[in-house]
Amino acid sequence: MPFIGAFSLGFELVLNAVVIGAVASFTSITKGALFTVTGLAPHGVLELPAFILEFTGLARWHVTLTRAIYSKIGGRNVDRPLLWEGVKDTAVLSLLSLVLFVLAAAVETFVTPRLLGM
């Protein structure tokens, strides 16, 4: 069950890469490479670390949840301080990722069109 999140994140990354790659290819052919780089780079600087933090938070959550499940299956008590540490780490990483995604969206919405002269 915990690995469903990893598959959904992988699907999200692949879908993002396919869409961005197709649009970047088409735009490079029609408007030139400089236009494409100017359109993608400003928000990409924030978006890539957001994806990394999102994946790291998800990995931390999987480790925490898997450890708790194995403890329960093995008939042992769950190490609550370790569980809460994992939950807190996951929450912090997720929040940082969310903030970076919001900033990247703001840059993409308000800054990029001005850089492209739209």
Per-position DSSP letters for 53-90, written without gaps between them? HHHHHHHHHHHHHHHHHHHHHTTPPP-HHHHHHHHHHH
- Split into its structural domains, the chain has a count of 1
Please state, in angstroms and rounded to a whole number, the distance separating the CA atoms of residues 61 and 107: 29
Supply the range of the domain harboring residue 86.
4-115
At residue 117, φ and ψ (nearest 5 deg) are 75, 30
Please state, in angstroms and rounded to a whole number, the distance separating the CA atoms of residues 38 and 34: 6
| pLDDT tens by residue, 52-92 | 998 899 889 888 988 999 999 998 998 999 999 999 999 99
Q: Is residue 43 within 8 Å of 105, Cβ to Cβ?
A: yes
pLDDT at 3: 62
| Length of the chain in terms of residues written | 118
| pLDDT tens by residue, 5-50 | 667 767 877 888 899 889 889 989 999 889 888 888 899 899 999 9
pLDDT at 2: 56
| CB atoms near residue 27 (< 10 Å) | 16
